[in-house]
Amino acid sequence: MELNFSIEGGDFTQAGQASSRVKAVLKQLGVNTKCIKSIVIALYEAEVNVVAHAYKGWINIQIDKDKIRIVITDEGPGIPDIGKAMEEGFSTASKKVREMGFGAGMGLPNMKKNTDELNIETVVGESTTVTMVNYF
Amino acid sequence: MTTAVPTYHALKVDAQKCIGCTHCMTSCPTEAIRIRNGLAVIEQKRCVDCGRCMRKCPAKAIFVEQDDLDKIKSFKYRVVLFPSVMIGQFPENYSEDQIYAALLKIGFTHVYEVEQPIGFLKESIRESCKKDKDHRPHISTFCPSIVRLIRIRYPSLAENLIHCKAPHDLGAHFALEQLMAQGANRDEIGLFYVTPCIAKMSAVKSPLGEKESIVNGIINMNELYNKVRKNISTKEAPDTSDQRATLTRDGILWSLTRGEARHFGERSMAIDGIHNVVKFLERLENEEVPDIDFLELRACDQSCAGGNLLSGNRFLTSERLERRAKRYQPAIKFKNHPIQEMAATLKPKLALDAIKPNPVFILDQDREKALEKMSKMQRIICFLPGIDCGACGAPNCQALAEDMVNQKAKMSDCVFLQQTWQEENKISTSKALKNMEKKWGKDRFKADCNKRGRRNEGF
């Protein structure tokens, strides 16, 4: 089955909408609770990333009987140095975003830790596409 | 002792009184209620005994079964075991001695408040938290509704539940030990627990992981309150303070909001009201919550002072208990009290095995089938109006879609869809009316000036 969401940049109240919905769906499918937790954490981080850094974004989710594939695409600044962004504690978040309690530089590392496959494609100044796959 | 029923639920619907409105259905935090044939039906697997439905029912049709008070007569030692909130219900002009005297007059031989000696429970919880550092925050098992809620709806958090029983277990074992030390036989002792809420009633009837319930009977606090009011006198009563010798300030405050949270961890939180708890647990599950050591979660607003079998105003009850607590010593003062000799006997009895999750919201055990149902639900949702009116007998459109894929409802149950179908001549008017009658009862749509709903509420 498929789920689609869109995100507005800058609206922190919206972050968590997709992950909450996905959580409810996976629970009803009887997916292992630890597995749900990882997926929800990774997706929430991804949502926050779009809200904190990009102008707008789209989430496409494909759920099969043995895996979930999440693709998050945004229009935004892109990631100039993916290697650096994967380091814990590295963040380009603005002061304003940090004051809101986000931007601790744990986003991408957390996503990596909580997914089975993580792929990031980015064009600096244009967009980023993150693909995450988790097997149940 | 009575044999435990594995999944006892205290809430029942009185078919004579139920008017088949939707108030209970829409207030249920686990969507456990549907309307069928003009009557509310509670799905046992989903019910957490929080009692929101009972509170909301305008016809007083949702009730609890209770044990007959006459049952006490068959025992030589008749123990009334009540939580401290019971005292908080009485107006201040009645003293503790007078309340105790009335209980003895009713026929009990021994009076025990469950929160004595709370120090043992406090230590047990502390030890249990210390042992398990991996699952934080530690979640209290005090409120049985919350335990059930976590087991069915938040299975990933079941590991966080503390491996410790509740004060009523402590009180029961304490009373038993004391009486047996005085020479009583176990089968001569009748323990009667006075419950402030429906959830505790169910928890005592079917205790987690035990074959037998330690108590012999359960008394609805409302009922006992009325009995005491009938038998109480404002004349001077004999001094019964020795029966409260090990009652502490901590014990009296235990069942109020923050009663537990104040004792455990550097960072603790207390949340009361089941809908507040649901919102918080959703966040906790997503790890959107800061580092917290201890969580006290209670289903009723103002915790047990707002218990659904209490008759007093919850804020007044709370206030009286806070004042009462000031007259008692804190638990720490009992460190060298002779009561400590009982620690070795009582503390092991408070240990609880790990609580297993019991997820009931899974669409199908077979993942492929569940996925199929989920996709079907998504398609059905597109056709439903999204008004969440409840006229189909389900609490909202999403729940109706779920019922449909589980073969418990049909598309035509939606009154709006049915209306459109009539317009398109897909269904006859008489068939449509029959469908409605199936949900709401045959005489539901006849003119009746005495029809009761929740009218004039709020004026």
CATH no. for A2-135 = 3.30.565.10
Q: A135: part of which helix (H) or strand (E)? A: strand A127-135
Q: Is B234 on the interface with A (CB under 8 A)?
A: no
Structural domains present in chain B: 11-64 (3.30.70.20), 69-350 (no CATH), 367-440 (no CATH)
- A29 and B362 within 8 Å at the Cβ level: the answer is yes
Nearest residue in B to A41, CA atom = B286
Q: What is the pLDDT of residue B133?
A: 84
Beta bridge partners of A63: A68
Q: Are A69 and A132 in contact (CB under 8 A)?
A: yes
Tokens representing residue B181 in the block: 């030390």
Average pLDDT over chain B, rounded to an integer: 89
- B368 and A36 within 8 Å at the Cβ level: the answer is no
Q: Which of A33, A44, A62 to mutate to test the interface with B (most CBs of B within 10 A)?
A: A33
CB < 8 Å from A in window 374-433 of B: 374-375, 378
pLDDT tens across B214-270, in order?
888 899 999 999 999 999 988 888 888 888 989 999 999 999 999 999 999 889 999
Q: Is B233 on the interface with A (CB under 8 A)?
A: no
Q: What is the pLDDT of residue B182?
A: 92
Q: What is the pLDDT of residue B314?
A: 93
Q: Is B134 on the interface with A (CB under 8 A)?
A: no
pLDDT tens across B132-182, in order?
888 889 999 999 999 999 999 998 899 999 999 989 999 999 999 999 999
Q: Is A58 on the interface with B (CB under 8 A)?
A: no
Q: B2: part of which helix (H) or strand (E)? A: strand B2-3
When CB atoms are compared, the residue of B357, B368, B374 closest to A28 is: B374
Q: Is the pLDDT of residue B17 over 50?
A: yes
Phi, psi (rounded to 5 degrees) for A100: -85, 0
Q: Is the pLDDT of residue B51 over 80?
A: yes
pLDDT tens across B310-322, in order?
988 999 999 999 9
Q: Is B159 on the interface with A (CB under 8 A)?
A: no
Q: Is A30 on the interface with B (CB under 8 A)?
A: yes
Where residue B193 falls among pLDDT bands split at 50, 70, 90? very high
Mean pLDDT over residues B94-117, rounded?
93
- A20 and B282 within 8 Å at the Cβ level: the answer is yes
Q: Is A67 on the interface with B (CB under 8 A)?
A: no
Min Cα–Cα distance to chain A from B364, Å: 7
When CB atoms are compared, the residue of B156, B286, B367 closest to A19 is: B286
Where residue B455 falls among pLDDT bands split at 50, 70, 90? low
Q: Is A43 on the interface with B (CB under 8 A)?
A: no
The alpha helices in B36-143, defined as continuous H runs, are 52-56, 85-88, 96-106, 118-131
Question: Mind listing the pLDDT tens digit of every residue in chain A (136 residues)?
Answer: 899 999 888 888 888 889 989 999 999 999 988 899 999 999 998 998 888 888 899 999 999 989 999 999 989 888 888 887 787 777 777 777 777 767 666 778 888 899 999 999 989 889 899 999 999 8
The alpha helices in B140-189, defined as continuous H runs, are 144-153, 167-181
Burial of B122 (0-12, 13-18, 19+ CB in 10 A): buried
When CB atoms are compared, the residue of A20, A44, A65 closest to B367 is: A65
Mean pLDDT over residues B337-348, rounded?
88
CA distance B271 to B7: 26
For residue A20, list chain B residues with Cβ-Cβ distance below 8 A. Answer: 282, 286
For residue B374, list chain A residues with Cβ-Cβ distance below 8 A. Answer: 1, 25, 28-29, 63
The ipTM (two decimal places) reads 0.80
The radius of gyration of chain B from alpha carbons, rounded to an integer in Å, stands at 24
Q: What is the pLDDT of residue A91?
A: 77
User: Higher model confidence: residue B414 or residue B265?
Assistant: B414
Min Cα–Cα distance to chain A from B289, Å: 12
- A1 and B286 within 8 Å at the Cβ level: the answer is no
Mean pLDDT over residues B266-276, rounded?
94
CA distance A10 to B88: 50
pLDDT tens across B370-401, in order?
999 999 999 999 999 999 999 999 999 999 99
Min Cα–Cα distance to chain A from B372, Å: 8
CA distance A18 to B45: 28
For residue B364, list chain A residues with Cβ-Cβ distance below 8 A. Answer: 30
Angle between helices B221-231 and B96-106 (to 10 degrees): 100
Q: Is A21 on the interface with B (CB under 8 A)?
A: no
- B286 and A64 within 8 Å at the Cβ level: the answer is no
Q: What is the pLDDT of residue B458?
A: 47
CA distance B196 to B260: 17
Tokens representing residue B210 in the block: 């035990």
When CB atoms are compared, the residue of A40, A44, A65 closest to B368 is: A65
Domain ranges of chain A: 2-135
Tokens representing residue B446 in the block: 């006849």
Q: A56: part of which helix (H) or strand (E)? A: strand A56-63
SS3 of B261, please? helix
Q: What is the pLDDT of residue B211?
A: 72
Q: Phi-psi category of B390—alpha, beta or left, where left has phi over 0 and alpha has psi -120 to 50?
A: left
